[in-house]
Structure 1
């Protein structure tokens, strides 16, 4: 089985073209993505797939074997793969994901990729968040005896953002898994961002990704966190998001329509044996 590995600011994915192989089972996906027993990645991008809704279809699979609705970094990586293999040029094209159709444009010979991510919603019925219909803004959540302010949002996949004066990888790894799996509140689980506002045009985030864990960068997380910072009144519409792996530019337009711009880098092509794919990973 042939995989094309890319990373977007340290958030890495394996691209599997349907022309090369069928999509692995969830158990195989876990083995393939494992950092010690497999090739290691934050997920598998399966495409291009046929679709009536867009130029290309894409499935996004998490390293725990679950399917994701949308990934900003995954979309940039997929776009770079399409560009590298001659399937697209620098003209805009569309990609159909479980979280909606997006428009993508390649800039600077593939050095920069712009994605119209769609509109952010803060409404509980759309995200979803349990409880009465409402915008989920500045709601208290208690974790380990401490109360945190939370903002929930979706840009095709669910997010919860915690504005903090100080944050760290350690804190993200403590709070992230608790919030991700707080299904009494977030029935589809959730991605988690710890947000620090630096000024009107800069924020810094630490990221816990649903189904993947601590992550160096995330396009959808950057989109959600920037939208929350704008919703709070703390930032303007053009926001540079500083992730641990690097920076992503987010522009927020009318009705919280988000455009994301950032890089994607090819690592190489890898072949994986069937016996490795089918191994059972110790829990």
Structure 2
């Protein structure tokens, strides 16, 4: 089977985008997606995103397979790429055009902005242990500044769900964190039954945070949109940052706003097409 695809990236978080509008199910398996994501033997990407028909009151549905074949509920950088992909597919790139997109994390609404970026209404953060999910502070209403033994030290962590689980910890110098070593230990820690994304955050100023991330199912990536959103929420809960922040990631910066008016988190950042191609799947 020959699959036409487009490659997009948002702050270096890169994805293979597939027009899947003719079917309600992804046209390839998670195993095939993992092969496509291989940076040596495939196209190379952090994940494969499928643009499917909408459900209920939405125009489109987003499904995504990570590079390891797992399926996350949502992806912040990915949905910005999807919005640009949909605009390019339809030929409608009008400014302030928005889309209602069904995801496993609920309805997400990205909007194209005048400066070429995409602003996304990411919805309300979920803070209860059951919603994240985590067994940390299971009898409480939030997991804020909790002690957690990981590796050879105790970390202070805050847990937030943006439709997918995040564990945020604040550090003095994010560049000194050995992500390759410590990231998997957080991801597979027993207190996170569905595994977790983990963000290591350095507070530069009250409105500027520096972030490095280990993503569940993808490992070290250059950016994580839902992680940046969860980070600002965690920063506010720990009195470490403002509700409106620039979050610097290895791939660039995102603007994150946690509205006090409607409790929703808004993410603004770039998404760019890299190239198009055709991929040949070979039966084994």
Q: Deviation digits for residues 83-110 of structure 1, max 9, x if unmatched?
A: 122264432221110011011110126x
Q: Deviation digits for residues 154-180 of structure 1, max 9, x if unmatched?
A: 010100001111122752222211111
* Matched ranges for 1:199-278 at <5 A: 199-254=205-260, 256-275=263-282, 278=283
Q: Could you say which residue in structure 1 is the equivalent of 2:199?
A: 193
Matched, 1:47 2:51: yes
What TM-score results when the alignment is normalised by the length of structure 1? 0.92
* Matched ranges for 1:39-188 at <5 A: 39-86=43-90, 88=92, 89-90=94-95, 91-108=97-114, 111-131=116-136, 132-134=138-140, 135-168=142-175, 170-182=177-189, 184-188=190-194
Q: Could you say which residue in structure 2 is the equivalent of 1:4?
A: 6
Asked if the contact 2:8/2:15 (under 8 Å) is kept, the reply is yes
Decide which of 24, 27, 31 is 1:23's aligned counterpart: 27
What RMSD in Å do the two structures reach over aligned CA positions?
1.7
Unaligned runs of 5+ in 1: none
3-state SS of paired residue (1:76)? helix
Unaligned runs of 5+ in 2: none
Instruction: Return the alpha-carbon distance in structure 2 between the equivalents of residues 129 and 50 of structure 1.
Output: 31
The 10-residue stretch of structure 1 (208-217 or 43-52) with the greater mean CA deviation from structure 2: 43-52
3-state SS of paired residue (1:23)? coil
3-state SS of paired residue (1:41)? coil
Asked if the contact 2:22/2:52 (under 8 Å) is kept, the reply is no
